[in-house]
């Protein structure tokens, strides 16, 4: 960190620009990634990364001529960050109430936590099937052609 600060403390990577350290780090991240990838987009926080992911999903669907395919399904109780978009993905009432969130195009489906939300005597298998059915019903109600993505990460906030 100290060596880098002496060499180049900061430089952006927008507008087709980059620098050797960012290129090297991107290469190392691609090598480490658990799934095949070829691109890295740097962000300063998890919230900003999630906002960027949403923008990329919307950009992609505009680019392929599907401007109505923009809704993103997240889960109740999931935490995704504090910016307007990532707080919208977050499924916590306290993070929405009084902030006019979530923004439109963000939907929430059930929290898949058997311990808290299973009916009395409901097996994990049955509970998981009920959650999957609820997701399917939401997608059908909204229109599958309007659903762009689903959030998979789930950091639960359990009081």
Residues that bind ligand PLP (CB under 6 A): 45-47, 50, 79-81, 153, 155
> How far apart (Å, rounded) are the C-alpha atoms in residues 158 and 135?
22
Tokens of 64: 């392929």
- Minimum CB–partner distance for residue 122 and ligand PLP (Å): 27
- The nearer residue to ligand PLP, 95 or 131, going by C-beta atoms, is 95
Q: Which of 47, 44, 38, 127 is nearest to 80 (CA)?
A: 47
Whether the CB-CB separation of 138 and 146 falls below 8 Å is answered with no
Other CB atoms within a 10 A radius of the CB of residue 51 amount to 21
User: Using an 8 Å Cβ cutoff, are 114 and 35 in contact?
Assistant: no
In the bound state with ligand PLP, the residue whose beta carbon lies nearer, of 79 and 127, is 79
Minimum CB separation from ligand PLP for residue 66, in Å? 26
**Which C-beta is closer to ligand PLP: that of 33 or that of 153?**
153
Smallest separation (angstroms) from ligand PLP to the CB of 6:
27
How far is CA 37 from each of CA 4, 13, 31, 56, 67, rounded to the nearest angstrom? 26, 19, 8, 15, 26
What is the nearest approach in angstroms of ligand PLP to the Cβ of residue 85? 11
Give the nearest distance from C-beta 136 to ligand PLP in angstroms.
24
Closer of 47 and 95 to ligand PLP (Cβ): 47
Nearer to ligand PLP, 69 or 109 (CB): 109
Instruction: Locate 148 and state its tokens.
Output: 């762009």
């Amino acid at each position: 960190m100290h060596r880098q600060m002496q060499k180049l403390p900061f430089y952006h990577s927008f507008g087709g620009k980059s620098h050797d350290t960012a290129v090297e780090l991107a290469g190392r991240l691609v090598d480490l990634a658990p799934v095949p990838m070829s691109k890295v987009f740097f962000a300063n926080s998890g919230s900003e990364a999630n906002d960027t992911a949403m923008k990329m999903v919307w950009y992609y669907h505009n680019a392929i001529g599907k401007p109505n395919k923009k809704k993103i399904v997240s889960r109740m109780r999931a935490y995704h960050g504090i910016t307007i978009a990532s707080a919208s993905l977050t499924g916590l009432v306290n993070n929405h109430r009084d902030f006019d969130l979530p923004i439109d195009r963000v939907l929430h489906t059930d929290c898949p936590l058997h311990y808290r939300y299973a009916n009395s005597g409901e097996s994990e298998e049955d509970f998981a099937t009920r959650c999957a059915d609820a997701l399917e019903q939401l997608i059908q109600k909204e229109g599958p052609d309007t659903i762009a993505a689903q959030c998979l990460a789930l950091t639960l906030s359990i009081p």
